Structure 1
Amino acid sequence: MTRELRIGSPGRQWPFSRGLVAESLLNAGASAEMASAVARRVEAELRSGRRSNVSTAQLKAAVVEASRSMGGDDLAEVVEQQTAAFEDILVVAKKGALPFSRGVLSRSLEDTGLPPREAYALASRIDIRLRQQGVRSLSVTDIDDLTERTLQEVYGETLQRTYRFLRENRGRLGVLGSSGDAPTPFSKGILTQSLLAAGVPPDSARKVARITQRQLRGAEDRVIERRAIRDKVERLLEVEVGPEVAERYRLLQVIRHPPRPLVILLGGVSGTGKSYLAAEIAYRLGIARVVSTDSIREVMRSMVSPALLPTLHASTFTAWQALVDPNEEQPEHPSTEALLAGFREQVQQVSVGLDAVVRRSIEEGMSVVLEGVHLVPGYLSARHGAIVIPMLVTLPDADEHRRHFEARDKQTTQSRPLHRYMRYFDEIRVMQRDLELLARRLKVPMLDSFSIDESADQAVDVVMRRLLAELSPAERLSLLGQERAGDVGNGDPGHEEPLAGDEGG
């Protein structure tokens, strides 16, 4: 009866394997025939010595000697310097050291989205690299860094970033978009905010977010595609609230992650509530950047003297004064032509700065909401690489417009004096009528509700329609899926408003 040959120390032993010996020779560059021959010779020598227990050091010495005898000094030197397949590579962590395991690493790689076979192949590649370098121990950070580099070499940056997210957020769920960026942590709070923005009642929004989080945590995958989460939430919404709200949520998610940056232009004269409305629209659409044309004008004023551009240093409703001939007596109130001439000259000047902001947002791939009186329909045209959506905020009722100024005067502790706006209230109303005429001619949507919530609802609907109309067939398929790509945005083209600037101006 042949006695079993065991390798290791008394506390940890395993049966002798010619395969592990041959693998060590292959890692050292030996041919398959040489590796198999050396493994058979080593086994024969160990058994001939009638030994049943051999340490890994003794086995390593036997392999090196057989390699020298059968393959020469060069092969033996490489085998000796490397970490053999039957020797442990220790991974040192805070709680101690454990042997490196291809199986454990491959399961971590599967979390990035790799199929099991490819994950194990990559783990084996890392194992071979460590052994060829003669590594006997390394830290968890070292193995993670090596895994990242290998992922990038084989698969590119997307999987490398995904693995980095997993190592830096152990135990947390990651959400993977379609842009190839690193995953972002799943947030129940952000999901609740998205549901509220889509019109889901607060109790239902919190319930759906809570159920979604519980279901995701029960799944095996640690990184989930955003579309999969969206589909899960839509199914829950159909049950909890109804199909109409589920459809609105789906479209809102498309807006929150558009294929190209959104540039929303929110124009309107003073006192129409543009600033509050812009903040509400940005919140609902998940846009972090809101820029006021007044702030751009202030920057430009600091760089250009009043003597050079006097209209820039006036209010929009008093810019006409800079155009009056110094030899003529200045009237208390301007004619309509003079008022609009001064206003449009300042708009033209500020549009230079606005154009720079739009270009920068496109370069950075960031959506932005621009708000202010200088966003006159026709002055900022469509831009390649962005979806530009102009809108005009109006207050048809003059009495309501006055109440807006009075409320703002109290809220800003008179930092924007009411009497000044009331003195030129008629001029401001004339400017609004002119803007309305331009908006109708260029088919720019007008938001004319007294309520910010209602105006925000109108604005989100405008953005939804425009975005769906702007999507290319490939973008529709990517964002909406095969079964829905042809169901939206195919209505009567007469109901779609063209971009500002498409018809002149």
Structure 2
Amino acid sequence: MPSVTRELQIGSPGRQWPFSRGLVAESLLNAGATPDEAAAVARRVEAELRASRRGAVSAVQLKALTVEVTRDVGGRAMAAAVEQQTAAYEDLMVIAKKGELPFSRGVLARSLEDTGLLGREAYAVASRIDIQLRQQGVKALSVAEIDDLTERTLQEMYGEQLKLTYRFLRQNRGKLGVMGSSGDAPEPFSKGILSQSLLAAGVPPDSARKVARVTQRQLRGAEDRLVERRIIRERVEQLLEAEVGPDVAARYRLLQVIRHPPRPLVILLGGVSGTGKSYLAAEIAYRLGIARVISTDSIREVMRSMVSPALLPTLHASTFTAWQALSDPNEVTPEHPSTEVLLLGFREQVQQVSVGLDAVVRRSIEEGMSVVMEGVHLVPGYLSARHGAIVIPMLITLPDQSEHRRHFESRDKQTTQSRPLHRYMRYFEEIRAMQDDLEQLARRLDVPILDSLSLDESADQAVDVVMRRILTELTPEERVRLLGNEELSLEQTDLTKVGEEMQR
């Protein structure tokens, strides 16, 4: 423990502190001196200060004396190193919005503890930063510069995740952070997102808001600013069991796996024009927390811009008029095709567009991103399961012809006739024939069919389909890791009944 001479004061008249032989020795050690050399210089500096009988010296005067003694004890090179650095007894100033403050290893260490480091580990990082700055002779630096140096030091000592965790804390001061198990940066806790996931699990709105509110209050009452997603899930499940019962709690647990799946989800939502695929795809993506929604029409448009109509005429037609491109130019084209000719043109276009769709799916898997794809070109059987992803096909239909017509009329008003109603009405029977064919394919290949007229009902069905598929796709190891040691069955989530209804 360094000795302290109370009669000697270091600093200016406005701010002084007791002389410490230990700080002098620390400065020598930072400059590369051996412990014996550092101790010898510190003792001699103290002796000379006592002999001079001075009550106070400035940090500059102490530095000059230390350099002089070091030159005598350790040579010119060591003295130059001591002179170049910022000594341990000199203030290292931090420039903040409220003015300048001396750098404090203790303050930095306390903020580092928020990242999950133990006290001694946090102080070791802060000390390393302090030594590095002093060895470089830094006299002052900004808060941002300290944060950047701290990030680099954390990455060198502990890796990328701790660096990202510290960055989250500095950019979201005062906010709760949620940490996953994948090594990514923490995310801000959101009561709104939690409520959204509870609603998607079938929790009544009032109960969802209450559980989210109580969860937020409990987390804010804790000392930690970062909390693992697993801990949040466990707290929410306990509240749900008390509020709405164990079945809904089990559904919520599974939904969290869907939001952070072990492999990317590729949800394929097929259906003919006018069935509400776009709205349903957006709703499914919202409920499942999937950011990427892609329409097959957009893929087709990109392909059209790259391939001329002369080369692929069916690609440049609508799905229900692609058959016209197959007609003999020397013969009169009928007003309406036979079902066989209609489906021949439709499937040829589907085959062409599937090339682009397959590339999009492959890219999503490579990026580890889940995606919801919607469009008439997502015909059951054309896009097969892919390694590294969980591919979930579905088909949306409108059994009632009158309701199907009303969908076209409503869309005509909402899109200000950019998709003319008369054109769809002219080929309405062809569109219905295509739906019949898609439905037969779906039933033959065991692809779930969504045929509710309500957007909410269809979205509920779709989420249940995804939950069922996730349960069957998880490996035993993934089940234990993601769902806990307790086996989660279809009966626990009330999905068995849903599955039976989907097959009717």
Task: Report the TM-score when normalising by structure 1.
Answer: 0.89
User: Contact 2:5–2:20 (CA<8 Å) still a contact in 1?
Assistant: no
User: Contact 2:250–2:488 (CA<8 Å) still a contact in 1?
Assistant: no
Distance 1:413 1:41 in 2: 90
Match of 1:6 among 5, 8, 16: 8
- Establish whether residue 165 from structure 1 lines up as the match of residue 168 from structure 2: yes
User: Contact 1:469–1:489 (CA<8 Å) still a contact in 2?
Assistant: no
User: For 1:247-290, what per-residue CA distance to the aligned partner results, in whole angstroms no more than 9, with x for missing partners?
Assistant: 22222222112232211101112232222211211111112222
In the other structure, the counterpart of 2:501 is: none
In the other structure, the counterpart of 1:503 is: none
Letter in 1 for 2:27: S
Distance 2:186 2:256 in 1: 17
Instruction: Please give the residue correspondences for 1:396-411 in structure 2 after superposition, counting only pairs within 5 Å.
Output: 396-411=399-414
User: Contact 1:267–1:274 (CA<8 Å) still a contact in 2?
Assistant: yes
Distance 1:394 1:288 in 2: 25
SS for the counterpart of 2:9 is: strand
Deviates more, 1:276-285 or 1:173-182: 173-182
User: For 1:121-158, what per-residue CA distance to the aligned partner results, in whole angstroms no more than 9, with x for missing partners?
Assistant: 00000011111112222221221121122122222222
Deviates more, 1:243-252 or 1:259-268: 243-252
Distance 1:480 1:287 in 2: 20
Cα deviation, residue 27, structure 1: 0.8
Instruction: Please give the residue correspondences for 1:214-253 in structure 2 after superposition, counting only pairs within 5 Å.
Output: 214-253=217-256
- The Cα RMSD (Å) is 2.5
Match of 2:106 among 96, 103, 108: 103
User: Contact 2:5–2:18 (CA<8 Å) still a contact in 1?
Assistant: no
Match of 1:285 among 279, 283, 288: 288
Residues 1:72 and 1:338: Cα distance change in structure 2 (over 3 Å): same
Residues 1:30 and 1:440: Cα distance change in structure 2 (over 3 Å): same
Letter in 2 for 1:187: S
Instruction: Please give the residue correspondences for 1:45-124 in structure 2 after superposition, counting only pairs within 5 Å.
Output: 45-124=48-127
Residues 1:462 and 1:45: Cα distance change in structure 2 (over 3 Å): same
Cα deviation, residue 376, structure 1: 0.6
Residues 1:428 and 1:74: Cα distance change in structure 2 (over 3 Å): same
Distance 2:416 2:62 in 1: 86
Q: How many residues align?
A: 489
In the other structure, the counterpart of 2:305 is: 302
Distance 2:357 2:181 in 1: 30
Distance 2:39 2:445 in 1: 81
Letter in 2 for 1:252: L
Cα deviation, residue 488, structure 1: 4.8
In the other structure, the counterpart of 1:353 is: 356
Cα deviation, residue 419, structure 1: 4.2
Residues 1:279 and 1:117: Cα distance change in structure 2 (over 3 Å): same
In the other structure, the counterpart of 1:502 is: none
Cα deviation, residue 413, structure 1: 4.7
Cα deviation, residue 214, structure 1: 2.5
- Establish whether residue 211 from structure 1 lines up as the match of residue 217 from structure 2: no
Cα deviation, residue 414, structure 1: 4.5
Cα deviation, residue 418, structure 1: 4.0
User: Contact 1:280–1:456 (CA<8 Å) still a contact in 2?
Assistant: yes
Distance 1:203 1:94 in 2: 43
Residues 1:337 and 1:22: Cα distance change in structure 2 (over 3 Å): same
In the other structure, the counterpart of 1:135 is: 138
In the other structure, the counterpart of 1:450 is: 453
- Establish whether residue 323 from structure 1 lines up as the match of residue 326 from structure 2: yes
Task: Report the TM-score when normalising by structure 2.
Answer: 0.89
Cα deviation, residue 389, structure 1: 0.8
Cα deviation, residue 228, structure 1: 2.3
Instruction: Please give the residue correspondences for 1:382-401 in structure 2 after superposition, counting only pairs within 5 Å.
Output: 382-401=385-404
Distance 1:352 1:14 in 2: 75
User: Contact 2:263–2:389 (CA<8 Å) still a contact in 1?
Assistant: yes
Which blocks of at least 5 consecutive residues in structure 2 are unaligned?
497-504
Letter in 1 for 2:373: L
Distance 2:107 2:366 in 1: 42
User: For 1:362-414, what per-residue CA distance to the aligned partner results, in whole angstroms no more than 9, with x for missing partners?
Assistant: 23332221111111111111223322111111233444434434444454455
Letter in 2 for 1:265: L
User: Contact 1:191–1:209 (CA<8 Å) still a contact in 2?
Assistant: yes
User: Contact 2:364–2:371 (CA<8 Å) still a contact in 1?
Assistant: yes
User: For 1:197-249, what per-residue CA distance to the aligned partner results, in whole angstroms no more than 9, with x for missing partners?
Assistant: 22222222222222222332332222322222222222222233332222222
